[in-house]
């Protein structure tokens, strides 16, 4: 799954059924990356922290309790790798290309 920033700066959640990866895809070549500021906080090495509740709101399946539980399970698994901060309820993603 990935946060997508299109060329116009619209932010959406894509490939939301994929619980094996999480990233940010910026098709604006950086010109709209600042549009992420209200929902994210910069981290190290081209990574950003995103509020978990915001990611759920962005998901087309955000009201589906099954999807929310699967997403929360993914977060728990990523915590030991430093990609989920349960105390601050945020998930870390890197800016990259569309996953294959």
Torsion of CA 39, 43, 45, 46, to 10 degrees: 10
Range of the domain at 74: 2-96
Rounded Cα–Cα distance for residues 89 and 82 (Å): 13
Residue 100: pLDDT band (50, 70, 90) is: low
Residue 23 to residues 14, 43, 65, Cα–Cα distance (Å): 10, 13, 22
Helix (H, G, I), strand (E, B) or coil at 40: strand
The angle subtended at Cα 31 by Cα 52 and Cα 36, nearest 5°, is 15
pLDDT of residue 50: 97
How far is the first Cα of the chain from the last one, in angstroms, to the nearest whole number?
A: 11
Residue 83 to residues 20, 28, 42, 49, 80, Cα–Cα distance (Å): 13, 24, 13, 8, 8
Single pTM value for the model? 0.89
pLDDT of residue 3: 95
- Residues 67-93 have pLDDT tens digits of 999 999 999 999 999 999 999 999 999
- Residues 34-66 have pLDDT tens digits of 888 888 999 999 899 999 999 999 999 999 999
How many domains would you assign to the chain?
Answer: 1
Average pLDDT, the chain: 92
pLDDT of residue 34: 84
């Amino acid at each position: 799954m990935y946060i997508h920033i299109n060329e116009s700066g619209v932010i959406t959640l894509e490939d939301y059924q994929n619980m094996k990866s999480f990233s940010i895809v910026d098709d604006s070549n950086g010109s709209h990356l600042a549009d992420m500021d209200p929902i994210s906080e910069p981290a190290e090495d081209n990574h950003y922290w995103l509020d978990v509740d915001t990611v759920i709101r962005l998901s087309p399946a955000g009201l589906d309790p099954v999807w929310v539980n699967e997403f929360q399970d993914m977060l728990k698994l990523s915590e030991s790798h430093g990609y989920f901060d349960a105390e601050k309820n945020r998930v870390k993603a890197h800016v990259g290309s569309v996953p294959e």
